[in-house]
Amino acid sequence: MENFTNNELNIVDLPQFESVTLQRLQTKYRRVLAVNIGVVLLIELIILLILTLKPEELSTKDVLFFWLGGGIIGFCVVWLTLLGFRKKGYAFREHDLIFQYGVIATNTKIIPYNRVQHVALHEGLISRYLGLAQVEIYTAGVQGGDIKIPGLLKDDAERIKQLLMGKIQKEL
């Protein structure tokens, strides 16, 4: 019969994930984001045109308010999207993977390989044209534990998928 132990751990001795150097997304991924932003801004422009199409029903002040508000919203969408791009990063360690994202608050997900259930590779139309892909990592039993790493070179995404699939096979 084994002796059960449950020793106290000193938190100072625990590994620090903050010391890991994260890989950043490919700069070409900004083009994908630019197209996405362009679509959002085009929809916003159409809505603004529809709202201000009949100026006789609106005062000049109302029209100015709509366009100024639309401009501010458009600026915020562009700024937050580009800032979010700069904050995303990932790293693969011996026993887990780290994914960091966020604009206002920085979120860090650390997923042990034994929690990974499925890995998928996705390419959007623009991403495929630029040679980029996204790896989706599905985890077991944790709501919100899934990770999507966009903006990877297609070859790197394939290697990541193979690495993770190999880790899943070892666990089985």
- Residue ranges of the domains in the chain? 29-84, 90-171
Indicate if the alpha-carbon torsion angle 73, 108, 18, 165 is positive or negative.
negative
Fold of 90-171: PH-domain like (2.30.29)
pLDDT of residue 171: 63
| 92 sits in which H/E element | strand 89-92
The residues, any chain, with a CB within 8 Å of residue 161's CB and separated by 6 or more, are: 119, 120, 121, 135
CA 112, CA 129: separation in Å to the nearest integer?
33
Give me the average pLDDT of each 10-residue run along the chain (172 residues).
80 77 94 93 88 75 85 92 93 91 91 90 94 93 82 95 86 62
pLDDT value of residue 1: 59
What's the token pair of residue 109? 């997900």
Distance in angstroms between the alpha carbons of the first and the last residue of the chain: 27
